[in-house]
Chain A
Amino acid sequence: MNIAVCVCQVPDTASLIGYVDGAIDYSRVNEVMNPYDEYALEEAVRLKERFGGCVITVFSAASDAAKEVLRKALALGADRAVRVSCSAEVSDPFQTALVLSRAITDFYSPALPDLVFCGKQATDFQSAQVPSMLAEMLGMASVSGITSMNPSLDSLRINREIEGGIEYIDVTCPALLSTEKGLNQPRKTSIRGVMEARKKTVGTVQVSLHEAPYVVMNALEPLERKKTCSFVPDEDDLIRILSQKHNLL
């Protein structure tokens, strides 16, 4: 079984993103694997451990620096890593999905992978668009935000959290699944894993991109959320304000 996993890099949420002279200062930012992608990779590795005969290939459409994230994926149990290199700059979810779809189509040509895993969204821009777009481009069924998965011989039984409940979904391969927090507990890299990863190579697939982005970001500025907090002396006061002034109770 061929499993593709798409990963990207995001600023560690703990690191401070600066703002200097009207521009974002990334100098103190520590880049890490997108946390949702860790669930995606972990689920793929668990499938391989359980069933054997699986080959996991990770794809990343990010810049040259993304090699780090691919190395990490190899250390965590991926078999092959592919950096997707593109002549033009990739700037929106549509273009990201497009170059990934081209890389995956090229790599597995003329077939398609049996399963594609993606994190449900990247934590930096939180668009949550790439997985379903990629599935549409690959002509695959997809389920976004899966919280549990139970594979059997002919289908996958999947749970997804919806508003106020759980959806139980059946899907057959080939399919793309995007992963939600709670699906699994991703493992940490081991020394053995890192050593083994050194023996594996990070390949490159060159893809073309002539299509314009669908969406353009035209401004980015610090967000001030400050409100003026009125401290209330006790609980009765709070209830009085919420009911009389705001009519909320």
Chain B
Amino acid sequence: MNKFLVFLEQREGVVKKNSISTWNRVQELAALRGNSVVSGILVGPAEIRQLDGAMAGNGMIYHAKEERLRLYSQEYYAGVVADTFKREDCTDLFFADTVMSRDLAPRLSVRLQASLLNGCITSDAEVDGVSRPVYSGSFLASFIPKRHQRIFILSSDAQLSSCSAGGNIDFIDVEPRSFSIKDIVPVVRQIVMREGMPDVSEARIIVAGGRGMGGAEGFTLLEQLALLLGGAVGASRTAVDEGWRPHAEQIGQTGKTVAPALYFACGISGAVQHLAGIGSAGIVVAINRDRHAPIFDVADYGLTGDVHIVLPKLLDSLKEFLKKQ
């Protein structure tokens, strides 16, 4: 029997969308495999918002309520997850791909003596191996877990889970671990969120720009477009290295890997390092002056032209279009 445990990440009492999507994907996997049980582990404050109705399937969520751990503590979180995994005799542990899971999962791999595989999609986990791009996205490597227990970090995926929400979820309180304050280093003192746009790693639509934007001013066009579409602005490495955009927005090998449903690549030539970050994007639209730019090889739709001419027109057309909706 497979006993799947899903780590549900909360920030400030709100469970992340990525975690809920991971839960739903693991439910699908469990249904596909049969003879499987899905449960969740949630560490954080007693009051958790926006969870009802979003989650599919049946299962239990172990909830370690600890007001002091509203903010992330690596040592304490790792302890609670490891305890639950062992107590419930779980076989597999699933994470959404987030900064927190990348911090936590390798530690748990050692503590639980479990194989850790990142960059997975759920169908991979089903055949007990995963494939993901390596070497700047020019090669695809397959990895096989050798331990009986396994930890998977699931990549965000443009494909929405097909299972319907509204499952039958029970919450079970987990006894708080006794801990002294010295046990909880490092301590997250504070979190400051950026206002406005969603983060590129979570956005449904991304409007990204590269060298062709010509400078920081060029990106105001992309900001307007992102704002209209409810999306986020992304940037190529060049745009970040030139200081036009912050590193948090960088997409590609040395930046973030993203999986939006719609990706606009504006004035981006399409170096493999950039493409490595958008492999899971849904529809890719490229706008570039050079019809032979490599970005068009991975795009679904292309518009050839100078971004400074195309984008203002696109903005106008889009405003017209949205007005009529």
Contact = CB atoms under 8 A, between A and B. Distances in A.
Interface of A: 11, 13, 17, 19, 24, 35-36, 93-94, 97, 123-133, 135-137, 141-145, 147, 158, 160-172, 175, 180-182, 212-223, 225-227, 229-232, 234-236, 238-239, 241-243, 246, 248-249
B309 to A, nearest CB: 10
B99 interface: yes
17 contacts: A13-B136, A17-B138, A123-B254, A124-B135, A129-B116, A129-B118, A132-B103, A132-B106, A162-B11, A164-B194, A167-B72, A172-B185, A216-B146, A229-B302, A230-B302, A235-B317, A248-B282
Range class of the B interface residue count: 35 or more
Given A97-B110, A141-B185, A168 B191 contact: yes
A98 B94 CA distance: 24
* SS of A interface (majority): mixed
B99 A168 contact: no
B248 interface: yes
B170 interface: no
B262 interface: yes
A6 B75 CA distance: 22
A225 B298 contact: yes
Given A182-B247, A230-B302, A218 B144 contact: yes
Nearest to A143: B186
A123 B139 CA distance: 13
A229 B106 contact: no
Contact of B144 (A169, A215, A223, A226): A215
Nearest to A173: B185
Given A169-B189, A215-B116, A232-B303, A220 B134 contact: yes
Contacts of A218: 129, 142-144
Contacts of A243: 321
Contact of B186 (A145, A169, A238): A169
B111 interface: yes
Give the 8 A-B CB pairs with smallest separation, nearest first. Answer: A132-B106, A171-B186, A165-B193, A164-B199, A182-B247, A219-B142, A129-B106, A136-B110
Nearest to B106: A132
Contacts of A229: 286, 296-297, 299-302
B115 interface: yes
A94 B109 contact: yes
B54 interface: no
Contact of A131 (B99, B106, B284, B317): B106
A161 B248 contact: yes
B185 A171 contact: yes
A165 B189 CA distance: 14
B285 A242 contact: yes
B187 interface: yes
Contact of A145 (B99, B190, B192, B303): B99
B205 interface: yes
Most A CB within 10 A of own CB, among B11, B119, B185, B229: B185
Given A125-B141, A147-B247, A215-B115, 16 more contacts: A13-B273, A24-B139, A97-B110, A141-B74, A142-B186, A145-B99, A161-B99, A167-B188, A168-B189, A168-B190, A172-B185, A181-B247, A215-B146, A229-B302, A231-B301, A238-B301
B107 interface: yes
Given A216-B144, A248-B205, A222 B139 contact: yes
A245 B253 CA distance: 31
A163 B199 contact: yes
B84 interface: no
B59 interface: no
A41 to B, nearest CB: 17
Given A227-B298, A229-B300, A236-B317, A175 B186 contact: yes
B230 to A, nearest CB: 10
A60 B314 CA distance: 51
Contacts of B105: 129, 132
Nearest to A128: B102
A234 to B, nearest CB: 8
A130 B282 CA distance: 31
A163 B254 contact: no
Nearest to A223: B140
B202 interface: yes
Nearest to B297: A226
B164 interface: no
A141 B199 CA distance: 28
A163 B275 contact: no
Interface in B139-167: 139-147
